[in-house]
Chains A and B, each alone.
Chain A
Amino acid sequence: MEPKPRLLSILDIVAVVMVLVAAALVFFYAPMEAIMGMVQKVFYFHVSAAWIGMLSFLVAAVAGIIYLRTQNRRWDIVGLSSVEIGLVFTFIAIVTGSIWARPVWNTWWTWDPRLTTVTIMELLYAAYLMLRAGIEDPGRRARFGAVYAIVGFLSVPLTFFSARLYRTIHPVVFGGAGGELDMDLSPRMTQAFMFSLLTFTVVYADLLWHRIRIGRLADRVEQLRLKALG
């Protein structure tokens, strides 16, 4: 197995430092929001996690398209890796959102359009992993994964626009239709938020690279196993 690339080691350090700086900005630089209190600060990592979830599923869909065109197994590994990371961060977004909602909406959960669609999206991609696990032939598994990731991506814009198209109590951060609650961010809040988004994007790139390496190693082990079985 090839040694860990130096650039990946540097990226690891950069990602860790950025997470620490982002946390410091959230706790010490961004002001407290007057109406919600300290729980509003959950927003910075909650939205960033949701952003990574959607970005991951987009990358998986693109990887699926490229795999179907090239039949190169590497793109299947990229797609699988990206879906897995997307699932983790979407789950983080759902749970942190629920924790934020408890004091603000006085409930842990409501079947609001945004919450409902993000749950559907999460379950769709969880099914992707489970269904892949049931296919033994690597080629078939990759083709299935590619098509599923492309079709499954339809749930992402549905989730994103759900808070803009339908009546919802979920806040809209980047400007919504008239009458919807926009989150008025002060300049410091905006700076902390933008840095959090950037930080999470770097963390995603780092995790994706690591997960792809694991995928390639798993692929090689599987090939050796199939070879040994004859």
Chain B
Amino acid sequence: MPLTSLLLLQQVAFLLQEGTPETTNFMIAGYIVFFLILIIYLVSLYARWRNLQQDMKMMEELEVRER
């Protein structure tokens, strides 16, 4: 019998015995992780943008001074 069919049978048997399992905490953890990683990435984009703008300003000032 394929592995996935066995797994499904096992889950149905568990459901008949125990009812729907309580897995809300894992769902919450999953979404916290998602938003956390996304926010960290957005913050890194903003920080890079700000740093580059400062570098650009500095380079433009240097260029003006050299002229």
A198 within 8 Å of B by Cβ? no
Shortest beta-carbon distance, B34 to chain A, in Å? 5
A217 within 8 Å of B by Cβ? yes
A36 contacts B53, C-beta separation under 8 Å: no
Shortest beta-carbon distance, B66 to chain A, in Å? 8
Of B26, B55, B62, B66, the most chain A CB neighbours within 10 A belong to B26
A 133-170 to B, binary, CB cutoff 8 A, 1 in contact else 0: 00000000000000000000000000000000001110
Q: How many residues of A contact B (CB 8 A)?
A: 44
Of B2, B38, B53, the most chain A CB neighbours within 10 A belong to B38
A42 contacts B48, C-beta separation under 8 Å: no
A7 within 8 Å of B by Cβ? no
A37 contacts B33, C-beta separation under 8 Å: no
Interface residue ranges of A166-184 to B (CB < 8 Å): 167-169, 179-181
Could you tell me the distance between the alpha carbons of A213 and B48 in the complex, rounded to whole angstroms? 11
A-B contacts, CB under 8 A, total: 110
Q: How many residues of B contact A (CB 8 A)?
A: 37
Interface residue ranges of A9-51 to B (CB < 8 Å): 23, 32, 34-42, 45-46, 49
A92 contacts B38, C-beta separation under 8 Å: yes
A35 contacts B56, C-beta separation under 8 Å: no
Shortest beta-carbon distance, B30 to chain A, in Å? 4
Could you tell me the distance between the alpha carbons of A211 and B62 in the complex, rounded to whole angstroms? 26
Could you tell me the distance between the alpha carbons of A7 and B31 in the complex, rounded to whole angstroms? 29
B20 within 8 Å of A by Cβ? yes
Q: Knowing A36-B21, A38-B24, A45-B30 touch, does A218 contact B12 (C-beta < 8 A)?
A: no
Q: Which residues of B contact A188 (CB under 8 A)?
A: none
A95 within 8 Å of B by Cβ? yes
Name B's interface SS.
helix
B63 contacts A95, C-beta separation under 8 Å: no
Could you tell me the distance between the alpha carbons of A169 and B4 in the complex, rounded to whole angstroms? 6
Q: Knowing A49-B34, A92-B34 touch, does A214 contact B59 (C-beta < 8 A)?
A: no
A103 contacts B26, C-beta separation under 8 Å: yes
A99 contacts B7, C-beta separation under 8 Å: no
A57 within 8 Å of B by Cβ? no
Q: Which residues of B contact A95 (CB under 8 A)?
A: 33, 37
Q: Which residues of B contact A220 (CB under 8 A)?
A: 56
A224 contacts B31, C-beta separation under 8 Å: no
Interface residue ranges of B1-56 to A (CB < 8 Å): 2-5, 7-8, 11-12, 14-15, 20-24, 26-27, 29-31, 33-34, 37-38, 41, 45, 48-49, 52-53, 55-56
B23 contacts A36, C-beta separation under 8 Å: yes
